[in-house]
């Protein structure tokens, strides 16, 4: 192998030279690195020096910027505060004038003052905050008092009793509307209530003002004052309206001492007042109550209940007093009239007195209706019993119609004038046909009781002939009266035919017992009496009988 240098091969010598060159290069690189580090260090120090020299200028610039921002904020705050002061100044003038001149502007001023309170509540760091808040709160207190007084004055001014003539006109219109609605297929009771004719309790132009004031009172936390003012004003107006119609509070003793004619007048007034109160006044009161407090967090139901309660309970108390007073057969017709009105009003009572706050009035009305029905039914039973037990002497020497017969038949005829009410009174829930049959049973019992009583009275005659003619005359009067009255439809043709046969039977008995031995004078007297009674057919048969037996000659 070829060698270069002393003792080293030629290849190794080359590697050695390369290594030496590499070491020299690395040495130069390190020197360059150190130079760069030194240069950079020198640059950093120069930058730091520059920053140090300009830092004061930066600080001054930032301070100036912050100062400008603070000045701007101060100016803005000052402008906002001045704006609030201006609002307070303008609103104060409006508040001191009161709401009477312009309610809308007054309420707007109140809202502006509330905005001022809200502004300073959010900016309590302002030095003027406390003083302004005190001033504004004083103004709001004054505004609340003024708005309450305005509500009181408006309610007092426009809560006047309605003239009786106007109420009667409204009732007549309401009845016409109700009759028209009842003829419509599928008409609901509440529909009649909604379409009813109401009097103008408060002018329509005043209702929006009252609504706005009530809304403000509730917002101010014066709900109780609003409640009390409205209740007292409307309750007083309702009471005066009824008083003008003639309603007064009567005790049980007052009713029992009252003459029959006076009692009938009072009952007539009461029935009209009940209709006017429910159909007209209370329907109107509920309507304006809903309008004034619409959309307001306010217990309308309780307020309506309390304003109506006094007048309603006075009316119902009178009805209850009459129902509990001393019973008499004559008072039955009064009770039927009262019951008919209460039953007619039942559906409207349910609508107007809905809700828990009106439950007392609703239940009182329902209880009165039940009480009137019960007492009327009991009086009918008592009357039937009185007919059976009547022991008045006959004192009818010629066998004519007894006064008691006239009295009972007249009572039955009067009773049937209330036929529609009686059908409701005796209504059975099972079937509609039960009503007429139940009423027929009652009338039949009374007629049978009268017939039984007459049978007893006929036995007071010592002469059997007079006994038969007495029964014949009285039963004939009963049959004729039934045939010519509404009782015919209740008792039916069968009853009439059956009792005609009884009349004929007594006539035949009379002929067999008495007329064969009757004198001509007494026979003629009897014939004239029968003629006066209108028993023409029977008179003809008697005439033929007398001719056949030689009592009369042709």
309 and 376 share a domain?
yes
User: Minimal CA–CA distance to 280: which of 179, 173, 204?
Assistant: 173
324 and 401 share a domain?
no
C-alpha triplet 508, 511, 513: angle, nearest 5°? 105
What phi, psi does 402 have (nearest 5°)? -75, 140
Question: How deeply is 117 buried, as exposed, middle or buried, from its count of CB atoms within 10 A (0-12, 13-18, 19+)?
Answer: middle
In tens, the pLDDT along 64-109 reads: 666 656 665 656 656 667 677 777 888 888 888 889 888 899 898 8
Rounded distance between C-alpha atoms, residue 355 and residue 290, angstroms: 14
Is 211 contained in some domain?
A: yes
Is 188 contained in some domain?
A: yes
pLDDT of residue 84: 72
397 and 372 share a domain?
no
CB < 8 Å & 24+ apart, contacts of 339-343: 339/369, 339/372, 339/373, 339/376, 339/421, 339/425, 340/418, 340/420, 340/421, 340/424, 341/271, 341/274, 341/275, 342/274, 342/368, 342/369, 342/372, 343/369, 343/421, 343/424
- Residue 230: partners with Cβ closer than 8 Å, 6 or more residues away: 155, 214, 289, 292, 303, 307
Is 403 contained in some domain?
A: yes
Q: 111, 180 in Cβ contact below 8 A?
A: no
Rounded distance between C-alpha atoms, residue 10 and residue 7, angstroms: 10
Rounded distance between C-alpha atoms, residue 211 and residue 207, angstroms: 6
398 and 360 share a domain?
no
Q: Where are the alpha helices (DSSP H) in 98-128?
A: 103-122
Last residue of a domain, one of 327, 354, 385: 385
259 and 368 share a domain?
yes
pLDDT of residue 551: 44
- Residue 437: partners with Cβ closer than 8 Å, 6 or more residues away: none
Q: 161, 237 in Cβ contact below 8 A?
A: yes
173 and 312 share a domain?
yes
| Distances 381 to 325, 332, 337, 386, 387 between C-alpha atoms, Å | 17, 11, 18, 9, 10
3-class SS at 9? strand
**Which residue range is the domain that position 337 belongs to?**
164-385
Q: 405, 471 in Cβ contact below 8 A?
A: no
Q: Where are the alpha helices (DSSP H) in 353-402?
A: 359-389
323 and 194 share a domain?
yes
Three state DSSP letters for 261-320? HHHHHHHHHHHHHHHHHHHHHHHHHHHHHHHHCCCCCCCHHHHHHHHHHHHHHHHHHHHH
Is 27 contained in some domain?
A: yes
Q: 289, 304 in Cβ contact below 8 A?
A: yes
Q: Which tokens in the block code for residue 167? A: 């109420």
Q: What is the dihedral of CA 242, 246, 249, 253, to 10 degrees?
A: -160
Question: From the first residue on, what is the mean pLDDT of each consecutive set of 10 residues in the chain (554 residues)?
Answer: 47 66 68 66 62 64 63 61 76 86 89 82 66 82 92 95 92 80 56 62 94 93 93 96 86 79 88 94 94 90 95 93 88 94 94 94 96 94 92 76 93 92 76 62 93 91 87 93 90 92 90 62 52 48 49 40
Is 121 contained in some domain?
A: no
Last residue of a domain, one of 353, 368, 385: 385
Rounded distance between C-alpha atoms, residue 343 and residue 181, angstroms: 18
User: Minimal CA–CA distance to 415: which of 444, 385, 453?
Assistant: 444
What b-and-e string marks burial along 470-495, b requiring 16 or more CB atoms within 10 Å of the CB? Answer: bbbbbbbbbbbbbeebebeebbeeeb
Q: 274, 368 in Cβ contact below 8 A?
A: no
Query: Helices (H) and strands (E) in the chain — how many of each?
Result: 20, 0
Beta bridge partners of 3: 9
Last residue of a domain, one of 359, 385, 411: 385
DSSP at 162: P
Rounded distance between C-alpha atoms, residue 178 and residue 192, angstroms: 6
Q: How many Cα atoms occupy the beta-carbon half-sphere of 426 within 13 Å? A: 20
For helices 487-513 and 434-458, angle between their N-to-C axes, nearest 10 degrees: 20
This prediction's pTM = 0.73
Q: 281, 232 in Cβ contact below 8 A?
A: no
458 and 433 share a domain?
yes
Is 401 contained in some domain?
A: yes
**Residue 535: how many CB atoms within 10 A of its CB?**
20
Rounded distance between C-alpha atoms, residue 414 and residue 271, angstroms: 19
492 and 509 share a domain?
yes
509 and 362 share a domain?
no
339 and 432 share a domain?
no
3-class SS at 198? coil
Domain count, the chain: 3
pLDDT of residue 454: 93
Is 539 contained in some domain?
A: no
Is 528 contained in some domain?
A: no
468 and 364 share a domain?
no
The CATH number given to whatever domain includes residue 303 is 1.20.1280.170
pLDDT of residue 241: 94
Residue with tokens 């039963």: 475
User: Minimal CA–CA distance to 146: which of 216, 203, 206, 205?
Assistant: 216
């Amino acid at each position: 192998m070829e060698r270069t240098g002393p003792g080293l091969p030629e290849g190794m010598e080359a590697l050695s030279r390369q290594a030496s060159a590499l070491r020299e290069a690395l040495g130069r690189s390190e020197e360059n690195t150190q130079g760069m580090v030194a240069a950079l260090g020198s640059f950093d120090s120069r930058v730091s020096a520059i920053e140090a020299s300009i830092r004061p200028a930066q600080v001054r610039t930032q301070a100036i910027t912050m100062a400008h921002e603070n000045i701007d904020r101060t100016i803005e705050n000052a402008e906002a505060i001045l704006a609030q002061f201006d609002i307070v100044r303008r609103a104060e003038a409006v508040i001191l004038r009161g709401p009477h001149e312009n309610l809308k502007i007054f309420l707007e001023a109140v809202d502006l003052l509330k905005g001022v309170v809200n502004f300073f509540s959010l900016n309590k760091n302002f030095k003027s905050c406390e003083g302004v808040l005190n001033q504004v709160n004083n103004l709001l207190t004054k505004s609340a008092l003024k708005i309450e007084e305005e509500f009181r004055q408006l309610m007092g001014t426009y809560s006047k009793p309605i003239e009786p003539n106007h109420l009667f006109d409204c009732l007549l219109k309401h009845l016409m509307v109700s009759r028209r609605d009842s003829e419509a297929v599928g008409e609901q009771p509440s529909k009649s209530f909604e379409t009813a004719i109401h009097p103008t309790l408060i002018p329509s132009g005043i209702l929006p003002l009252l609504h706005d004031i009530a809304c403000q009172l509730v917002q101010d936390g014066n709900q109780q004052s609003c409640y009390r003012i409205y209740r007292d004003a409307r309750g007083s107006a309702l009471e005066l309206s009824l008083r003008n119609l003639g309603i007064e509070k009567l005790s049980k003793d007052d009713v029992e001492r009252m003459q029959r004619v006076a009692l009938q007048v009072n009952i007539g007034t009461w029935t009209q007042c009940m209709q006017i109160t429910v159909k007209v006044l209370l329907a109107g009161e509920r309507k304006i109550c809903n309008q004034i407090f619409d959309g307001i967090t306010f217990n309308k139901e309780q307020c309506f209940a309390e304003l109506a309660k006094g007048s309603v309970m006075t009316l119902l108390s009178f009805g209850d007093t009459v129902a509990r007073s001393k019973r008499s057969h004559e008072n039955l017709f009064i009770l039927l009239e009262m019951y008919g009105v209460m039953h007619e009003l039942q559906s409207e009572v349910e609508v107007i007195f809905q809700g828990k706050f009106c439950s007392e009035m609703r239940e009182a009305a329902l209880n009165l209706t039940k009480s009137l029905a019960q007492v009327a039914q009991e009086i009918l039973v008592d009357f039937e019993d009185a007919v059976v037990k009547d022991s008045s002497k006959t004192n009818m020497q010629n066998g004519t119609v007894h006064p008691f017969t006239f009295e009972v038949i007249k009572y039955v005829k009067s009773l049937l004038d209330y036929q529609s009410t009686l059908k409701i009174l005796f209504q059975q829930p099972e079937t509609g046909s039960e009503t007429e049959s139940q009423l027929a049973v009652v009338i039949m019992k009374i007629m049978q009781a009268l017939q039984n009583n007459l049978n007893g009275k006929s036995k007071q005659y010592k002469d059997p002939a007079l006994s038969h003619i007495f029964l014949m005359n009285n039963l004939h009067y009963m049959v004729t009266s039934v045939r010519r009255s509404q009782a015919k439809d209740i008792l039916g043709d069968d009853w009439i035919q059956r009792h005609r046969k009884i009349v004929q039977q007594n006539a035949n008995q009379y002929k067999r017992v008495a007329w064969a031995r009757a004198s001509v004078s007494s026979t003629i007297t009897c014939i004239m009496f029968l003629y006066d009674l209108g028993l023409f057919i029977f008179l003809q048969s008697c005439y033929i009988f007398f001719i056949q037996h030689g009592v009369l000659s042709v």
